Structure 1
Amino acid sequence: MRSESYSHTQQNNIHLASIETFILRFPLATPVRTSFGVMPARPAVFVRVTDRDGISGWGEAWCNFPACAAEYRQALITEVLSPLACKHIFPSPQALFASLSQQTAVLTLQSGDHGPMAQAIAAIDIAVWDMCARKAGQPLWRYLGGSQDTVTSYASGINPTGSEELIRQKIAEGYNAFKMKVGFDSEQDYHSVSMLREIIGHDRRLMLDANQGWSPQDALASVLRLAEFSPLWIEEPLRADSTPQTWRELAEGSPIPLAAGENIAGHNAFCQAMDNFGLRVIQPDIAKWGGLSGVLALLPEIKRRQLQYCPHYLGGGIGLLASAHLLAASDMPDGMLEVDANPNPLRHALCGPLAHPVQGVVALGDAAGLGIEPDIDAIKDRLAG
């Protein structure tokens, strides 16, 4: 990223007039399985901010679990955050993000709602960045300071069983990298990963995601066994709250690089994890913590430590597209964007060019902001039909 990035944001004061929220759900014919539970539907909380000049921007909050998560994030945005965000004039998106975080800090401690509040703030932050880029007439990746618009994507969310047809479909669509869920029965994990490697061959990249499903002992045994399939990384092989020593010991014994970040929140927490966990791949999720402002500030820390930035994402198309713009702006050529392989019109209808990779690569283009104008009513009609 260019060192002069973001100076233009100081020239456009942010004075919000309204914040609207929209909840949509897409029921899944084949639920997504993880080591900790099953997702029977794909929910989304989309946010539209509009300033006093009538310019709008779009964001999204993480809300996958539990089933009532979407409604709760919506209530936090509408009842708690909207009055705070619309009350003052802010010199930049970062200033608005900092203000919302500071003004809700004690409330968050009192209620224990660290995750939901962070996700609600993240949605507003993403929307404000989109609004500012639209107002400047620039694509978000350029407004964020990037110099090129391409990102490499990979197909994610692949279930351990019954995924053969989906994998072949994604190969036909242009994907060259795939990530499978593990963390189940040891034999099932082995045979599932063997199946994936056999279908994709040895020229395509393979990654694994254990979703915090292993004990330290099981994690080491599993990575040693699965290493024969040459995974690029193993994601969350341990619980996110495992001690730094536990992470380091696994990293030292694992032939597979360790990845984590979707369940880390806060700049200091990320820096401590990067310094103490032995991670090689860092995976913040802009819809779970930080929005664009928080993760943007992490990028120099990731680059300085020579780690790989591969944003986590498992939601609708707005947050996915924002993740892609931030990855493009990072100017880290080894980064890869996670794209859920499972059917989801809440993603597909709103992710613009990400729906059509060419050899795994997507060009985001020069349209202002995120480059899309969501038609929520049309998506609702499609879901109803």
Structure 2
Amino acid sequence: MAHLTYNASRIRGLSVRDIRFPTSLQCDGSDAIHPDPDYSCAYVIIYTDTDFKGHGISFTIGRGTELVVAAVKSLAHLVVGKNLKDIYDDFAATWRTLTSESQMRWVGPEKGVIHLAVAAIVNALWDLRARTQHKPLWKLLVDMEPEELVSCIDFRYIGDVLTKEEAVEMLKEMIPGKENREERMLSRGYPAYTTAAGWLGYSNEKIEGLLKQFMSQGWRHFKLKVGQDLEDDKRRCQFVRELIGEERTLMVDANQKWDVDQAVSWMTELSPYKPLWIEEPTSPDDVLGHAEIAKALKPLGIGVASGEMFQNRVIFKQMLQAGAIDYCQIDSCRLGGVNEVLAVYLMAKKFNVPVCPHAGGVGLCEMVQHLQIWDYICVSGTTKGRLIEYVDHLSEHFKTPSKITSCHYIAPKVPGYSTEMWEKTLQSYEYPYGSQWKELFKEGKYRDPRTCPPPWVEHREAGDITQR
């Protein structure tokens, strides 16, 4: 099949939908900060004047998804009507346009709801690009010449740490052996760990059953949520350590729960259970706090892993500069899509910090496999000290879900970014009018926003809003 000719193609439209799953009913995804997440996403489809479409996702956890959807709609005019050639010939400029819209930037910039919206659009653009080239995204990235790939990155704010020239040289140094590394990803795959048994809301019985199931399948790396109650954490860590044995790896995740001193003292108490890392010990904006925690925990053999909630490449830059993280956890949606993620991988390479992506949410496993496989083939050249998070929740809603064999992600072969969802899923779980949500409202398991009046009254003449 011939490749799409960009010169003759343009984006004719963009749709965005609020897709939510009622995962809080089973405590799936629960942690010390987010006890009742409903895994969700803003789901973007980019339409061209051909048969090609691009599918993009930005992960959310329920309420607030409507804000991301609104932000996507406000940014859509920046890509709709554009020629694909103009977008992809200078992708860094396209990315900067999306992150620098003069009025929308004020409610960012490059962070929060706006950046999540940018991610959804940018991820859809990369999915579209990979589809038009008939390649999975990782292969598209691998086959790019170093100069072409680096041209996709906006180096503003990070040039003091990484220049374009340095980035190109990094990639050129890794060209030897690329074919062998690519074959390894296609045959053996990338090592993974699972969080699926470690949610904070799970009972001991459920944790034990899941751990035994995973161990029977060969899993050797497990993550456990902590941070709500110290004595309970000690009990749960001991319980899990005794189940998995000393030879398997345990990681723990506090999801930003603690102050700096509290993180150090809490993890000192948990150190006898030999966790490899503590993930998100404190505020994701506290660079110096992370550095202090990392320094204090190093003698205990505990690393600091973080990045799931880092706002942008600038925070990653500072964390790496300060030696504040031992494991760099990029998120495919928190950052502004693939372009910005590439920059973080290259900075992590310069600072010799392994990247272990955050995954597990709606579509995250599907996306990060592409990024980490590209990193192995073109940037790091190793899987040592590196793992991809894996949770199988909701994978059945994707047309090409991630494939796990012997606890390894196997490199996908289907063109695109693995982000396309089934139309039946979209119709069933679009909030609040999907058939599954209507049934949940009818059963009284969720408040129906279609019939419940809002808690405020808008006085249009006065122009103010008052509480009922």
TM over 0.5: same fold? Answer: yes
Shift of 1:125: 0.8
1:268 to 294, 314, 326: 314
- The 1:133–1:110 alpha-carbon spacing in structure 2 relative to 1, beyond 3 Å, is closer
- The 1:111–1:326 alpha-carbon spacing in structure 2 relative to 1, beyond 3 Å, is closer
> What letter is aligned with 1:368?
P
User: Secondary structure of the equivalent of 1:144?
Assistant: helix
1:20 corresponds to: 15
> What letter is aligned with 2:370?
H
- If asked which structure has higher relative contact order (CA below 8 Å, sep 6+), I would say 1
Q: Verify: 1:298 aligned to 2:344, yes or no.
A: yes
1:187 corresponds to: 231
Between structure 1 and structure 2, the one with the greater Rg is 2
Shift of 1:214: 1.6
In structure 2, what is the Cα distance between the partners aligned to 1:100 and 1:239? Answer: 27
User: Secondary structure of the equivalent of 1:18?
Assistant: strand
Shift of 1:286: 1.5
In structure 1, what is the Cα distance between the partners aligned to 2:407 and 2:117? Answer: 31
2:264 corresponds to: 220
- The 1:135–1:277 alpha-carbon spacing in structure 2 relative to 1, beyond 3 Å, is same
In structure 2, what is the Cα distance between the partners aligned to 1:121 and 1:180? Answer: 31
8 Å contact 1:93–1:128 — kept in the other structure?
no
> What letter is aligned with 2:94?
L
> What letter is aligned with 2:372?
L
1:323 corresponds to: 368
- The 1:95–1:215 alpha-carbon spacing in structure 2 relative to 1, beyond 3 Å, is same
1:96 corresponds to: 94
> What letter is aligned with 1:86?
V
Q: Verify: 1:278 aligned to 2:324, yes or no.
A: yes
Q: Verify: 1:350 aligned to 2:374, yes or no.
A: no
2:391 to 318, 340, 364: 340
2:46 to 45, 49, 71: 49
User: What's the CA shift string for 1:233-262, capped at 9, x where partnerless?
Assistant: 111112223351x32222111020111112
In structure 2, what is the Cα distance between the partners aligned to 1:170 and 1:264? Answer: 30
More displaced 10-residue stretch of structure 1: 122-131 or 17-26: 17-26
User: Secondary structure of the equivalent of 1:59?
Assistant: strand
- The 1:352–1:175 alpha-carbon spacing in structure 2 relative to 1, beyond 3 Å, is farther
Shift of 1:110: 4.6
Count, aligned residues: 366
Shift of 1:159: 2.0
8 Å contact 2:138–2:374 — kept in the other structure?
yes
User: Secondary structure of the equivalent of 2:36?
Assistant: strand
User: What's the CA shift string for 1:30-84, capped at 9, x where partnerless?
Assistant: 22322223124222222111223331121111222xx431112112112x11111
In structure 2, what is the Cα distance between the partners aligned to 1:209 and 1:137? Answer: 38
- The 1:122–1:164 alpha-carbon spacing in structure 2 relative to 1, beyond 3 Å, is same
User: What's the CA shift string for 1:89-135, capped at 9, x where partnerless?
Assistant: 3125443222111225x423257893111001101111111111111
In structure 1, what is the Cα distance between the partners aligned to 2:51 and 2:91? Answer: 17
> What letter is aligned with 2:122?
D
Q: When you count strand as a share of all residues, which structure comes out higher?
A: 1
1:377 corresponds to: 424
- The 1:98–1:185 alpha-carbon spacing in structure 2 relative to 1, beyond 3 Å, is same
1:30 corresponds to: 26
In structure 2, what is the Cα distance between the partners aligned to 1:93 and 1:50? Answer: 18
8 Å contact 1:234–1:259 — kept in the other structure?
yes
Q: Verify: 1:247 aligned to 2:242, yes or no.
A: no
- The 1:17–1:257 alpha-carbon spacing in structure 2 relative to 1, beyond 3 Å, is same
> What letter is aligned with 1:336?
L
In structure 2, what is the Cα distance between the partners aligned to 1:49 and 1:88? Answer: 11
User: What's the CA shift string for 1:135-187, capped at 9, x where partnerless?
Assistant: 11112111112752332222125224412223333334553311111111111
- The 1:144–1:169 alpha-carbon spacing in structure 2 relative to 1, beyond 3 Å, is same
1:4 corresponds to: none
In structure 2, what is the Cα distance between the partners aligned to 1:309 and 1:155? Answer: 16
> What letter is aligned with 1:143?
L
8 Å contact 1:261–1:270 — kept in the other structure?
yes
- The 1:239–1:372 alpha-carbon spacing in structure 2 relative to 1, beyond 3 Å, is closer
Note the 1:93-172 alignment, pairs <5 A.
93-103=91-101, 106-110=103-107, 114-145=111-142, 147=178, 148=182, 149=185, 150-156=189-195, 158-160=198-200, 161-162=202-203, 163-172=207-216
User: What's the CA shift string for 1:239-290, capped at 9, x where partnerless?
Assistant: 223351x322221110201111122122222111111142110112111122
More displaced 10-residue stretch of structure 1: 294-303 or 137-146: 137-146
List alignment gaps of at least 5 residues for structure 2. 144-177, 430-434, 440-468
8 Å contact 1:57–1:128 — kept in the other structure?
yes
Q: Which TM-score applies when normalising by structure 1?
A: 0.86
In structure 2, what is the Cα distance between the partners aligned to 1:307 and 1:112? Answer: 27
User: What's the CA shift string for 1:187-218, capped at 9, x where partnerless?
Assistant: 11111111222222233221110111122222
List alignment gaps of at least 5 residues for structure 1. 1-8
Identity %: 25
In structure 2, what is the Cα distance between the partners aligned to 1:112 and 1:266? Answer: 10
- The 1:15–1:170 alpha-carbon spacing in structure 2 relative to 1, beyond 3 Å, is farther
Note the 1:190-209 alignment, pairs <5 A.
190-209=234-253
Shift of 1:371: 5.0
> What letter is aligned with 1:61?
S
1:229 corresponds to: 273
1:363 to 393, 410, 415: 410
